[in-house]
Amino acid sequence: MSNLTLHVEVHEGHGPFLLLVHGIYSGRSHWVRNLPGLSAFTTPVVVELLGHGRSPSPEAIEAYHPDWYVEEFERVREAVGAERWYTCGQSLGAALTLRYGLRVSGRVAAQAFTNSATAFSDPAWAEERRQTMQANLATLDPHDRSSIEGSRMNPANNQRLPEEVRAALRADVALHSPVGIARTALGTVSHGSVRLAITENTVPTLMVVGRFEKAFEENRRYAEATIPNLTTVDLDAGHGVNLDQPEAFNEALRAFFTRHPIDG
């Protein structure tokens, strides 16, 4: 896979390929609690976002645009040899996989996603965030990791998780580039919304909602009112739905993907 930019790991599995895309501040270990279960019925393909973990941190802000990820996901699909596959995105990753499904729907047999503010942000919110992030990037100390380590979005700070999982997440976070994270916020998050385009969705879609994240309730209502071919599953979880409830999350994906086989 030397033609790829993102760090990619293909895990052993029993079934079609499943692309797994984490959110901002996370990394490959975001799926560590899910991989054993998901491998029973799919072949997981885990990527790390630019600026995160083992992926590079390009200097050009244009490299972080969500449209670049659509092209890169296609390169990953071709590299693993999948004619069609499943996708699953978490938080910012959901904005990216939903965009991918809109652009290349014929390659996605079914898709799943979890709570995502970026995916359903309105233009005014996105512009406000863009201006703030532009200012932050201009004054960022590239050696200051405090904003990453202390962020409420840092999954390693989730006290509900087992210590071995938090340790794996901390190992990922230790590799994050502060500048790469800032560029992701500016180049990816602020351009990541699919709010207006999602009405054109044709891919069977599963939204797995962590009901404890109250901030997602409005976006959840919007998604259910506007996304065609949508199924919703509620779990007793927060923002990191798959980490909080791994068995229930895996079962939700298994049941949904079974209803939408690759060769269907």
Q: Is the pLDDT reported for residue 79 higher than 60?
A: yes
Kindly state the DSSP code that residue 55 receives in the 8-state scheme.
Answer: S
Q: State which amino acid sits at residue 15.
A: G
Question: Distance between CA 232 and CA 90 in Å, rounded?
Answer: 15
CATH number of the domain enclosing 103: 3.40.50.1820
Strands 205-210 and 85-89: unpaired
Q: Look at strands 7-10 and 43-48 and give their pairing.
A: antiparallel
Range with the poorest average pLDDT among 74-78, 131-135, 201-205, 215-219: 131-135
Helices 66-80 and 92-103 pack at an angle, to 10 degrees, of 70
Q: Which amino acid is at 47?
A: V
CA distance 96 to 118: 9
Domain that holds residue 149: 7-259
pLDDT band at 153 (very low <50, low <70, confident <90, very high): confident
- pLDDT band per the 50, 70, 90 thresholds, residue 145: confident
User: 35-39, 47-51, 173-177, 203-207 — which is least confidently predicted?
Assistant: 173-177
Residue 133: pLDDT over 80: no
SS3 110: strand
pLDDT at 263 (0 to 100) = 84
HSE (CB half, 13 Å, CA atoms) of 242?
A: 30
If one counts the domains in the chain, the total is 1
Rounded to two decimals, the pTM is 0.95
Determine, yes or no, domain membership for 264: no
2 assigned to some structural domain: no
Asked if the structure places residue 115 within a domain, the reply is yes
- In this structure, which amino acid lies at residue 236? D
- The answer to whether position 1 is within a domain reads no
Dist CA 192 CA 67 (whole Å): 9
pLDDT at 154: 87
Phi, psi of 232 (to 5 degrees): -115, 135
Inform me whether the pLDDT recorded for 252 exceeds 90. yes
Separation of alpha carbons 194 and 111, rounded Å: 15
Q: Taking a C-beta distance cutoff of 8 angstroms, is the pair 88, 253 a contact?
A: yes
Percent of the chain exceeding pLDDT 90 equals 79
- Whether residue 94 lies inside any domain: the answer is yes
What pLDDT, on a 0 to 100 scale, did the predictor assign at position 1? 57
DSSP code per residue over 130-198: HHHHHHHHHT--TT--HHHHT-TT-GGG-TTS-HHHHHHHHHHHTT--HHHHHHHHHHTGGG---TTGG
Tell whether the model's pLDDT for residue 123 goes beyond 70: yes
* Average pLDDT over every residue of 218-244: 97
Judged against a pLDDT cut of 70, whether residue 165 lies above it is answered with: yes
CA distance 108 to 86: 6
